[in-house]
Amino acid sequence: MSDIIKTNCTYIEEIAIGGQKKVSKANHKDWGEVVIKEGKTSGTTSKTRIEREIRVLSSLNSVYYPKQFFFEFRAIDNVQSEFIIVEEFINGTTLRDVMLYFDSEDKIIKLLRELLYGLALIWYNDDGKIVHRDLKPENIIIRPDKTPCILDLGIARLLEESSLTPSIYPYGPCTPPYASPEQLRNDKDIIDARSDFFSLGIVIGELILGYHPFDSKYIGLNSNIPENILDDNHVNFALMGNLSEKYKILVKKLLNPKPYQRFRHMQSILNFLDN
């Protein structure tokens, strides 16, 4: 850990470790409660992804994202680098852990609106259009007042910059059970904000159902979730009598396998909800 951080922090507590990254929580004398992320990168691709995340988050001043306080890269050799990131600690718990709270359409739609307002800051950013590409319950922190904070832009893609994922890869960086069909096919040219719309459709579908809408256990198939996403096999929301017609249409449109048949713009979703 950087001496600059170590000498200014107390009560450093490791909270997660995996792969080549360690996450700790601490109290900083100037910044208060912080999260410290330390790790190693191999090659320029992962290094560039982390630099992008820091650059984007540092440009935002929003309750929908943690504040960035410190960032440092240190070269180990010609291939590997060490990094350290210090960001605001968000008091709350992941959406995964509080899904039962969102037990009505009204609560889910309110959450969706908040997520749209937050994501609009990166989708339509003046410095470059950005797609999150990894929206899932684990990457959404719900504060005690039930407002969301969006985490982990590390695989976000700036659409106006060159891609970091070779076209020959079977799919781009993502969490496959929450990825859009175009991400799973690595169709980079059509990945945009509508790809995040699809992921949001999975999340709000899961909230209302209590299970993943593409889970084979509930649709009578033997295939896995990514295969079902690619084949457009999901729970038929239209047959669910406990849902309003508006909610059925909303989820169906967000989960359309063709990006051009989803909502065209974030404002289109908001207009639909308001009409």
Domain 3-88, CATH homologous superfamily name and number:
Phosphorylase Kinase; domain 1 (3.30.200.20)
Residues 23-50, mean pLDDT to the nearest whole number: 83
Residue 163 has a pLDDT of 45
Q: Under CATH, which number does the domain 93-274 receive?
A: 1.10.510.10
First to last CA, the chain: 52
If pLDDT is split at 50, 70 and 90, which confidence band does 193 have? very high
Q: What does the alpha-carbon distance between residue 269 and residue 169 come to, in Å, rounded to a whole number?
A: 32
Q: What does the alpha-carbon distance between residue 12 and residue 26 come to, in Å, rounded to a whole number?
A: 4
If pLDDT is split at 50, 70 and 90, which confidence band does 164 have? very low
Task: Choose among 200, 208, 189: nearest CA to 260.
Answer: 189
This prediction has a pTM of: 0.86
Residue pointed to by tokens 């059970």: 177
Q: Is the pLDDT of residue 43 over 70?
A: no
Q: What does the alpha-carbon distance between residue 189 and residue 182 come to, in Å, rounded to a whole number?
A: 9
**Phi/psi zone of residue 128: left (φ > 0), alpha (ψ -120 to 50 degrees), beta?**
left
Q: Which two tokens stand for residue 15?
A: 């909270």
Within the chain, how many helices (H) and strands (E) appear? 8, 10
Q: Is the pLDDT of residue 165 over 60?
A: no
Task: Choose among 132, 129, 124: nearest CA to 173.
Answer: 132
Residue 46 has a pLDDT of 65
Residue 3 has a pLDDT of 66
Q: Which two tokens stand for residue 26?
A: 């601490």
The residues with which 28 forms a beta bridge, in sequence order, are 9, 32
What's phi and psi for 179, nearest 5 deg? -95, 155
The residue type of 27 is N
Q: Is the pLDDT of residue 241 over 50?
A: yes
Contact present, 57 and 37 (Cβ < 8 Å): no
Max CA-CA distance within the chain? Answer: 61
Q: Is the pLDDT of residue 232 over 90?
A: yes
56-103 pLDDT per residue, tens: 778 888 999 999 898 888 777 777 778 888 999 999 999 999 999 999
The beta strands (E) that lie in 143-245 are given as: 148-150, 157-158
Task: Choose among 63, 65, 83: nearest CA to 73.
Answer: 83
Contact present, 120 and 266 (Cβ < 8 Å): yes
Residue 2 has a pLDDT of 65
Start and end residues for every CATH 3.30.200.20 domain found in the chain: 3-88
Q: What does the alpha-carbon distance between residue 26 and residue 138 come to, in Å, rounded to a whole number?
A: 21
